[in-house]
């Protein structure tokens, strides 16, 4: 929940599949918007959502998206997975506040508009260029890690070790000094049985759970999957998720393993209707 001018709202993460359907289908769009008003949702859109919509090279679709969301009172653009993980590192001791994942507020209560973000903000343009230029390398790294994984994808009992080891490996690559210092502190103060470093990084944990369910046990990862994987990073800090069917099912399963996901209200799109999963 987040407080805006004395009123409590739920943060609702919306994936590209839902956004695209809202653009295509006025009835579905109205259903989602009415639900957001009734339930007091604040729509949260990932930076990756914006890149995907902009890269589809469909001006009509993009303009319709801008028209819809620039007329919603409050919309938040959410930080990238790299920025969310950095916030988790910085907040390891002092605690993490939900607001820290919010990047740019847009909508009728702000002077900032989506069109400005997409075409005029240097920060977004730099992010778009970097993501598009590095996603192939990201795909190759993930594919190699999955291929070299020693975990048996048919043995669900190994999922915990896959997630823990993957999370700590990513931390060692992204923030080596932090991880080294923290492990030394834990050993020095004999906290090894009390403190689980990976539990303070739900963004990385969720990404590895999705990686396990979707790619280690299901199918090969493709270039278009890179955005789908990294954009889930802020979901543990959401109250509600509106997402495509398969991802909704994965989140439902992960809910029994992550307390941050268990508390989520999950909605999926089914036959052009919004269906609550949990």
Report the C-alpha gap between 238 and 251 in whole angstroms: 13
What is the per-residue pLDDT for 44? 92
pLDDT tens digits, one per residue of 236-258: 999 999 998 888 999 999 998 99
- What are the DSSP calls for 46-85, one per residue? EHHHHHHHHHT--HHHHHHHHHHHTTSS-EEEEPPHHHHH
- What are the DSSP calls for 161-212, one per residue? HHHHHHHHHHHHHH-HHHHHHHHHHHHHTT-TTT--GGGG-HHHHHHHHHHI
**pLDDT, the chain, mean:** 82
Q: Which helix (H) or strand (E) holds 45?
A: strand 41-46
**Residue of 97 and 40 predicted with greater confidence:** 40
| Strand-pair partners of 242 | 14, 267
pLDDT at 158 over 90: no
What is the per-residue pLDDT for 18? 92
Number of Cβ within a 10 Å radius of residue 269: 22
Q: What percent of the chain has pLDDT over 70?
A: 83
What is the per-residue pLDDT for 36? 92
Domain boundaries of the chain, sorted by first residue: 2-149+226-276
Q: What percent of the chain has pLDDT over 90?
A: 23
Q: Which helix (H) or strand (E) holds 224?
A: none
């Amino acid at each position: 929940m987040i407080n805006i001018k004395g009123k409590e709202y739920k943060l609702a993460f919306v994936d590209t599949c839902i956004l695209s359907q809202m653009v295509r289908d006025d009835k579905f769009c109205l259903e989602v918007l009415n639900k957001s008003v009734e339930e007091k949702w604040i729509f949260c859109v990932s930076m990756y959502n914006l890149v995907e919509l902009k890269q589809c090279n469909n001006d009509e679709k993009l303009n319709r998206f801008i028209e819809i969301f620039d007329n919603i009172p409050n919309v938040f653009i959410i930080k990238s997975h790299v920025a969310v993980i950095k916030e988790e590192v910085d907040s390891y001791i002092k605690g993490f506040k939900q607001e820290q994942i919010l990047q740019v507020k847009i909508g009728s209560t702000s002077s900032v508009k989506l069109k400005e973000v997409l075409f005029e903000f240097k920060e977004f343009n730099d992010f778009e260029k970097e993501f598009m230029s590095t996603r192939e390398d990201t795909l190759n790294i993930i594919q190699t890690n999955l291929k070299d994984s020693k975990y048996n994808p048919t043995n669900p009992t190994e999922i915990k070790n896959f997630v823990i080891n993957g999370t700590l490996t990513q931390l060692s690559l992204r923030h080596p000094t932090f991880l080294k210092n923290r492990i030394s502190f834990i050993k020095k103060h004999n906290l090894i049985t009390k403190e689980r470093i990976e539990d303070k990084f739900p963004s990385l944990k969720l990404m590895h759970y999705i990686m396990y369910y979707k790619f280690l046990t299901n199918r090969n990862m493709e270039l278009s999957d890179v955005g789908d994987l990294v954009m889930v990073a802020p979901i543990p800090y959401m109250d509600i998720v509106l997402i495509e069917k398969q991802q909704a099912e994965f989140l439902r399963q992960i809910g029994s393993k992550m307390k941050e996901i268990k508390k989520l209200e999950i909605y999926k799109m089914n036959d052009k209707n919004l269906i609550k999963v949990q």
